[in-house]
Amino acid sequence: MLVALAIDPLSASTSLIARLFPVVYIGGLVALGLLVSFVLRKLATVEAFRQVHPWIPLLHLAVWLPLVWLLQHRFVPAASGADWWSRGLWLLVFAVAALPWLRSVFLGVVFAVEARYKIGDDLRIGDVEGRLVGVGLRAITLRGLAGIDATIPYERLLREPVVRLNLGEHDTPCDLTLDVPAGIAPARAAELARQAAALSRYASPRRPPEVFLAPRQGSALDLQLRVRGYLYDREHDDRFRSDLVERLHAAFTAELAAPHRAL
């Protein structure tokens, strides 16, 4: 005997919504957190928001801590005292497992409060050198001369020596290595290189350039010039190199055309 069962469409739709609501709720919170984190990461690379950059790690925490609190209320219902001890133990285990991550986050907050570094600073961290272009929750981003970005965790900043390449007046060094032309005395070539670096339109008037002689492939008869100029803004690094090469080419050509100065 078949019995016809009536299905209430309203009850079915209500049951479906009740089952989907937790998924939508949790997914919405996570998506909101990721969206805000994405926006904060973008702001960390925008020069116009430089005053906000030191506080970006704190803003990350201000977003994620309430979201984590809401999520734990969804995943962890009301519990007795014994259950709270068990959950606290599991939380401690997860915290210990994520200790490096937590340490980087904590150091990020410390560096943000101290305002030790800011966007645009030229830093050398260990063997990595570049301009600070991004401040994140767990790491900073340095952009090297070749345009390659390097991500440096805050823990590494604490562990390795950090050298600020910006001098007192925000001058930054720029090195260029050239071969000493045949037919020009090394001392004369160094003098011409020093003059060319000092006369460059991109050179800082506060620091004189330095020129060093170095052997090429270990030969004292085959020398190189290592020119270190100081720029008033590192943004002109490539322009300074191009201008210096142009000036040295003209100076060396004129020197070689003067027989009384050549060897």
**Residue 194, C-beta contacts closer than 8 angstroms, at least 6 positions apart:** 208, 209, 210, 211, 227
Instruction: Summarize pLDDT for 126-149 with one digit per residue, the tens.
Output: 888 888 888 877 788 888 766 678
- CA distances 229 to 174, 175, 253, Å, are 5, 6, 21
Domain extent, residue 45, equals 20-75+85-166
Pair 246, 186 in one domain: yes
Pair 32, 157 in one domain: yes
pTM of the complete model = 0.41
Pair 31, 146 in one domain: yes
Pair 123, 38 in one domain: yes
Pair 229, 143 in one domain: no
Domain annotation covers residue 12: no
Pair 29, 134 in one domain: yes
- Check pLDDT > 50 for residue 253: yes
Confidence label for 263 from pLDDT (cuts 50, 70 and 90) = very low
Instruction: Summarize pLDDT for 84-136 with one digit per residue, the tens.
Output: 666 666 665 555 545 556 667 777 777 777 777 777 778 888 888 888 888 87
Pair 155, 214 in one domain: no
Are 28 and 36 within 8 A, CB to CB?
no
Domain annotation covers residue 199: yes
Instruction: Summarize pLDDT for 212-232 with one digit per residue, the tens.
Output: 888 877 777 778 888 888 887
Pair 208, 245 in one domain: yes
Q: What is the pLDDT of residue 246?
A: 92
Pair 182, 156 in one domain: no
Pair 160, 201 in one domain: no
Supply 135's token pair. 């401040």
Q: How many domains does the chain have?
A: 2
Q: What is the pLDDT of residue 73?
A: 65
Question: CA 259 to CA 224: how far, in whole Å?
Answer: 22
Supply 121's token pair. 């600073």
Pair 26, 125 in one domain: yes
